């Protein structure tokens, strides 16, 4: 199958934390409308990889381009859903205000929102089925509803690339399925990179999986051998589990 336009490229990328390598010689590309899942152990560099794409961290060696430019120049075209969104549940901020925050990279923090800005925020909430909650306090929503709002915040800027760091954490299985289906719909309009520990779940929905533990194993497919998983997690395959479900990428899920 012929790939679409390349929008992210890592070439010989190394990154360090406190003089210790977090990423070693990373090489891979992401293309338009890709849905890539990234798995690996805690401390394996998954969040570091996202931060480099977001220009929150610069690599020590190697080159990274996003949409053909330096990541800092493309930041406004990247949507990001962090692993945890910290806020005081009693702080009086509503769904509408949270969604508008997604436009900061384009409008700046202190600029007034235009009619077009507000239209983008409204459309983003509608796409995640949360428009009717626009005046609700964010702290009053369920975990799944909050995740939808944070996705809407990421979508408000009309991104070409959507990055999600453990978006299903603390979300019940039913809502997880709904969110995965939402992401599959969004894939028609943008490339998606999803970091997760739940290999079994993401293998049903993503198109490709990469294993990351400082070094990256990526073959442009979602079929991963037991040997690769064991090498990534540094433990036997039967111990790599999410609850009681083994973390295996099954061929029948293709």
pLDDT in tens, 29-42: 999 999 999 988 88
Model confidence, pTM:
0.84
What's the CA gap between 168 and 198, in Å, rounded?
Answer: 9
- Do residues 49 and 135 touch, judged by C-beta distance below 8 A? no
**Whether domain 1-42+53-67+160-165+189-254 has CATH 3.40.50.300:** yes
pLDDT of 242 over the 60 cut: no
What's the CA gap between 87 and 99, in Å, rounded?
Answer: 14
pLDDT of 199 over the 90 cut: no
Residue 43 banded pLDDT, cuts 50, 70, 90: confident
What's the CA gap between 27 and 13, in Å, rounded?
Answer: 7
CB 251: neighbour CB atoms within 10 A? 9
Tell me phi and psi for residue 111, to 5 degrees: -85, 145
DSSP state of 207: S
CATH 3.40.50.300 domain position(s) in the chain = 1-42+53-67+160-165+189-254
């Amino acid at each position: 199958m012929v790939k679409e336009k390349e929008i992210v490229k890592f070439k010989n990328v190394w990154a360090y934390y406190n003089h210790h390598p977090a990423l070693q010689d990373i090489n891979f590309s992401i293309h338009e409308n890709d849905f890539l899942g990234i798995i690996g152990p805690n401390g394996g560099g998954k969040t570091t990889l996202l931060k480099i794409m977001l220009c929150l961290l610069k690599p020590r060696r190697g080159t990274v381009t996003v949409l053909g430019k330096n990541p800092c120049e493309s930041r406004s075209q990247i949507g990001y859903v962090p692993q945890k969104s910290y806020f005081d549940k009693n702080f009086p901020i509503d769904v509408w205000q949270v969604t508008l925050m997604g436009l900061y990279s384009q409008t700046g923090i202190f600029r007034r929102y235009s009619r077009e800005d507000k239209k983008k925020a409204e459309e983003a909430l509608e796409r995640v089925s949360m428009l009717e909650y626009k005046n609700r306090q964010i702290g009053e929503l369920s975990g799944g509803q909050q995740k939808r709002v944070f996705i809407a915040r990421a979508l408000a800027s009309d991104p070409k690339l959507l990055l999600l760091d453990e978006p299903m954490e603390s979300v019940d299985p039913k809502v997880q399925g709904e969110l995965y289906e939402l992401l599959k719909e969004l894939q028609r309009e943008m490339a998606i990179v999803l970091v997760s520990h739940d290999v079994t779940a993401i293998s049903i929905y993503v198109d490709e999986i990469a294993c990351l533990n400082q070094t990256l194993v990526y073959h442009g497919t979602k079929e991963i051998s037991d040997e690769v998983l064991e090498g990534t997690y540094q433990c036997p395959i039967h111990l790599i589990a999410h609850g009681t479900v083994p973390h295996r990428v099954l061929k029948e899920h293709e």
